[in-house]
């Protein structure tokens, strides 16, 4: 049953409204002042309030403003009942937080229509809030579950790797002829690599699960500083002539989770190197600009490129367009989730024909989801 609170210092006005509202199922309470209304809602929260504009001590607009200052009443529908319909009065009412108004003398059809509209809007908002809270809870439960599963998967792999190292030690001590046999030696040397691949995959899976959950502080930092740190991780590839970087001379300051944004660039650069094709050296060019409140960046290479048909699929988890390359198919999906958490986007430029070009943008004042 809908709860309606009437606030008016004139008893006759309250009785008129009550008489109209009694014809529909609702729980109605009436008070004679703004002060009494503020006390009533502490224990009895209505679905909608009708507040008279002209009241002594606290006017309807003042009462509305005091209610809206309290977070728990931020979305409570308040209708101002007034004999004034000038722009100044109505503007003050809406500025205070009222959602609608009803002119005196109160007309039955208008009163019922506007009250029912306010209640429907309130119920719809409450439903959205409830669904949002459920989604947040489910997301947290999924993250907790993924973290637990990843931990439970890593533990036996780490344990098996430790036991295998012990086995190799004992084998070398007690049966060196077996350990040093060429065929057995090659076979035994492959096993640690398999353990490492499994641990890497589990870590990648965990990173993807956590990608949409920002765990660091939002900082304002030079994008160049982030890229410098990331590129240093590819020093060996640069020395071997596998990759060459072309960077801008100026970098904007950006607002982001530095660790997560570093992961974005690390994944994108790794992707360019992995899919460089037959090139001995892949050239990676990075560009950036500020457009209004948006930071826009792009990274392009001269590698094999990506088929147009794979433009959207590559940002989905476990999608791999080239089975000849080892990988989990999570790297670009992780990038997309991190940028989404920053209220940003990433897309593949379908017009770029000389390799692959990724374009991304996010706002300076990102509010993390």
Q: Give the model confidence (pLDDT) of 267-291 as tens digits.
A: 999 989 988 877 778 999 999 998 8
Q: Residue 214: which of 358, 365, 369, 96 has the closest Cα?
A: 369
CATH topology (fold) of 218-363: Heat Shock Protein 90 (3.30.565)
Predicted TM-score (pTM) of this structure: 0.52
What DSSP line would sit under 17-30, residue for residue?
A: HHHHHTTSSEEEEE
- Over residues 21-66, the pLDDT tens digits come to 887 888 999 999 999 999 999 999 999 999 999 998 899 999 999 9
Domain-wise residue ranges, the chain: 2-106, 131-210, 218-363
Rg (CA), the chain: 32
Question: What are the E-state strand segments in the chain?
Answer: 2-7, 26-31, 48-52, 78-82, 100-103, 218-222, 243-246, 253-257, 282-291, 294-301, 345-348, 356-363
Given a cut of 60, whether residue 365 has pLDDT beyond it is yes
- Over residues 317-341, the pLDDT tens digits come to 666 655 555 555 678 888 998 898 8
What b/e string do you get for 184-201 counting C-beta neighbours within 10 Å, with b at 16 or more? Answer: eeeebeeeeeebeebeeb
pLDDT of residue 211: 66
Burial class (CB in 10 A: 0-12, 13-18, 19+), 270: middle
pLDDT of residue 231: 93
pLDDT of residue 369: 44
Q: Residue 61: which of 83, 42, 80, 87 has the closest Cα?
A: 80
Using CA atoms, how far apart are residues 285 and 350, in angstroms rounded to an integer? 17
Q: What CATH number was assigned to the domain covering residues 2-106?
A: 3.40.50.2300
């Amino acid at each position: 049953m809908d709860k309606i609170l009437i606030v008016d210092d004139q008893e006759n006005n309250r009785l008129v409204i009550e008489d109209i509202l009694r014809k529909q199922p609702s729980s109605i309470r009436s008070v004679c002042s703004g002060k009494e209304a503020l006390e009533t809602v502490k224990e009895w929260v209505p679905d909608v309030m009708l507040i008279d504009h002209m009241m002594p001590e606290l006017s309807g607009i003042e009462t509305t403003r005091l209610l809206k200052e309290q977070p728990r009443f931020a979305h409570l529908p308040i209708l101002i009942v007034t004999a004034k319909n000038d722009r100044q009065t109505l503007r003050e009412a809406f500025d205070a937080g009222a959602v609608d108004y009803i002119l005196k003398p109160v007309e039955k059809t208008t009163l019922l229509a506007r009250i029912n509209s306010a209640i429907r809007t309130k119920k719809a908002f409450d439903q959205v809030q409830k669904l949002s809270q459920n989604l947040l809870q489910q997301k947290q439960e999924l993250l907790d579950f993924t973290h637990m599963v990843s931990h439970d998967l890593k533990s036996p792999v780490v344990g098996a790797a430790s036991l295998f190292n012990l086995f190799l030690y004992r084998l070398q001590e007690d049966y060196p002829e077996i350990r040093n046999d060429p065929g057995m030696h090659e076979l035994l040397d492959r096993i640690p690599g398999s353990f490492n691949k499994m641990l890497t995959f589990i870590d990648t899976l965990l990173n993807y699960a956590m990608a949409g959950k920002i765990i660091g502080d939002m900082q304002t930092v030079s994008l160049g500083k982030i890229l410098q740190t990331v590129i240093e991780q590819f020093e060996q590839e640069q020395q071997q002539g596998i990759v060459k970087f072309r960077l801008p001379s100026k970098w904007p300051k950006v607002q982001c989770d530095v660790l997560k944004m570093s992961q974005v660039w690390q994944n994108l650069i790794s992707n360019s190197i992995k899919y460089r094709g037959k090139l001995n050296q892949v050239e990676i060019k990075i560009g950036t600009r500020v457009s209004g409140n948006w930071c826009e960046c792009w990274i392009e290479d001269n590698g094999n490129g990506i088929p147009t048909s794979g433009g959207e699929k590559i940002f989905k988890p476990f999608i791999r367009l080239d089975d000849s390359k080892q990988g989990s198919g999570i790297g670009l999906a992780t990038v997309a989730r991190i940028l989404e958490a920053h209220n940003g986007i990433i897309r593949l430029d379908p017009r770029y024909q000389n390799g692959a070009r990724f374009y991304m943008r996010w706002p300076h004042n990102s509010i993390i989801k």
